[in-house]
Amino acid sequence: MNAMRGESFNHLMPPQAKADVLSVLSFLENLGDELESTSELFAATPNLRITMHLIRGHLEGRLTTMSSLIGASRAPYATANRRIKDMQLAGLIDQRPRTDTGKSFSLHPSVELLDQWTRLTSRVQRLAHAQFGGAAADETSEYYFGESYLSAKSIPPMKVLSEPLKLAGGLRVLVHGDPTFMVMDNLKRQFEQTIGTQIHQRAFSIDRLREETMRNAARKSSTYDIVAVDLPWVGGFAENDVLMPLDEAMDIARIDPSDFHTAGWQAAHWGGRAYGIPAQTTPELLFYRKDLFAQAGLKPPQTTQDLLTAARALHDPQRGLHGIAWNAARGTALGHTVLMTLADFGQPILDLKPIAGGYETQHLANRDYRFTIDTPAGLQAAEFLKELLNYSPPDILSMSWYERIRPYAAGQIAMAYGYTLLAPYFELDDASPAKDQTGYLPHPAGPNGAAIAPVGGYIMGIPANLPKERVAAAVEALLVFTSPSAQKLYVQNGSRTNPRYSVASDPDVRRLSPIFEAVDGMCWRDELQFWPRPPIPEIDEVIQICGEEFHDMLRGIISPQDALRRAQQRADATLSPP
């Protein structure tokens, strides 16, 4: 993906969950102030003031010390100190050392206190709704007020580590500059509070991310503690000792592998070993305007022919509406499209063995594969892409990751292929005609293919050259960043990617977007597949090759047959002799 600018995404929505919880805090704080201004006899109890200060600090990522908590209590020093000690003994406040001596420490709300606050805020909301909203609150209604973030029935919030991570200079992280990782950066203060050390995050476009990761691997000692890795790179990074196998650094059982979407977890492996933990599982789907389809009397496309029919019917440049947008920019962007379109027509880029639900990828590390581009199915895929040009915007051959979604969000495109991580550009934009009018489908299937949702996304792993004394702390940070609690937090702050079943089934997550239920259904139907972009060492070069040859085809410089033949020859040249 080209450089994804977090600043264009960040303004779309304030973190809903945090805002709702903080609104409850503000209400109670203001109510306490009003009561106290009426009479000193109505003063709030120190315990309530202590609790509110702790939770606000936790949500805003601010450090809470004993002195600041005593000050917030508005009680005499001895009284406040005694109340805080009582709450610690009751398991409501966690204490974490800030120095090696332990004489300096920070205070944090425990999970039990957060759960108690959840129940309190839920009751406050229901009481307010019943008293001032004109009707009794329904226990099953889908309001979003406090409990959406901290619910006893859903994934609990992140809990601070009992001991701060000891990493000289703080934790250093290298990521892709996409919306999900930018959400993570926006929450940096909260994560710093959770792990107890500073976080230094660098974000790059996809090509620069790969270059920086390879430069880092050539250093004697890694500059980064954790790196984000695009799924197709896993095999090459494993073969070239760029990443450390997870089983060398930690007990894999701590990850709970069964909680990850199967395709995303399998894609993190090479030679039977995991090289990272899924941080994003973001399939490429077909986004379509449900309202435009309904007005035209069209059904959601199930096949490539259905898609062409719909694109033709909805394409009306005179009205400023085009049928479809897709990745067609030269190089990496179009190369990904080529591999996925081949898969739509039932043709993997490699001679993989067919198995139930897809193709066998367990033995890619044996390196006994061949490329399969110049085939009858490949010709069908090439001709399909050429026909798509007829119903695409005039600048389609320069469109890549963002360029295909922006006009869709603006109402200028009826359909668009896009990763789920880009959905916030219209889901969270009240001005977008596509907001609340978008349907989500797997790729429509060609004559010899089946409906699939090609899996994209990133794992987070540990560089193989990370100094040994930093590995244990890097593992703990990695577990925090990829935990269900963290993944839920990303979603609540605008992300539309998720690698875990538990997060997808969380009621708070599901109510935020229909995309999670749709992707979950695709997963259970075996439509989420990573074989369209197999993580072999040659994949990056072959994607570039396909993106160049097929671009010449789309420009009319060469025929589809020539594009297939040339791409096949160049791809074959990347392989070692059999």
Which of the pair, 67 or 307, is modelled with greater confidence? 307
Q: What is the pLDDT of residue 14?
A: 36
Question: Where are the domains positioned within the chain?
Answer: 15-132, 171-281+456-524, 282-454+532-572
Domains 171-281+456-524 and 282-454+532-572 share a fold: yes
3-state secondary structure 249-290: HCCHHHHCHHHECHHHHHCCEECCEECCEEEEEEEEEEEEEH
What is the C-alpha separation between 326 and 392, in angstroms, rounded?
Answer: 8
Q: What topology is assigned to 15-132 in CATH?
A: Arc Repressor Mutant, subunit A (1.10.10)
3-state secondary structure 439-507: EEECECECCCCCCEEEEEEEEEECECCCCHHHHHHHHHHHHHHCCHHHHHHHHHCCCCCCCEHHHHCCH
What is the C-alpha separation between 501 and 504, in angstroms, rounded?
Answer: 5
Least confident of 71-80, 128-137, 163-172, 254-263: 128-137
Q: How many residues does the chain have?
A: 578
Helix (H, G, I), strand (E, B) or coil at 86: helix
Q: Kindly report, residue by residue over 89-141, the tens digit of the pLDDT.
A: 888 888 877 766 666 788 888 877 877 776 666 666 666 666 565 443 343 33
CB hemisphere CA count around 177 (13 angstroms): 19
Whether 104 and 66 have beta carbons less than 8 Å apart is answered as no
Q: Kindly report, residue by residue over 269-325, the tens digit of the pLDDT.
A: 999 999 999 999 899 999 999 999 999 999 999 999 999 999 999 999 999 999 999
Q: Kindly report, residue by residue over 322-350, the tens digit of the pLDDT.
A: 999 999 999 999 999 999 999 999 999 99
- β pairing state of 93-97 and 105-109: antiparallel
Q: What is the pLDDT of residue 294?
A: 97
State the pLDDT confidence band at 15, using cuts at 50, 70 and 90.
very low
Residue range 156-184: mean pLDDT, rounded:
90
Looking at domain 282-454+532-572, its CATH class is alpha beta
Q: Kindly report, residue by residue over 426-482, the tens digit of the pLDDT.
A: 999 999 999 999 999 999 999 989 999 999 999 999 999 999 999 999 999 999 999
Terminal C-alpha separation, the chain = 33
Read off φ and ψ for residue 559, nearest 5 degrees: -80, 165
Residue 418: closest CA among 548, 334, 326, 304: 326
Single pTM value for the model: 0.74
Q: What topology is assigned to 171-281+456-524 in CATH?
A: D-Maltodextrin-Binding Protein; domain 2 (3.40.190)
Q: C-alpha angle 92/95/97, rounded to 5°?
A: 175
Kindly tell me if the per-residue pLDDT of 47 is higher than 90.
Answer: no
**Percent of the chain clearing pLDDT 90 (strictly above):** 57
**Percent of the chain clearing pLDDT 70 (strictly above):** 85
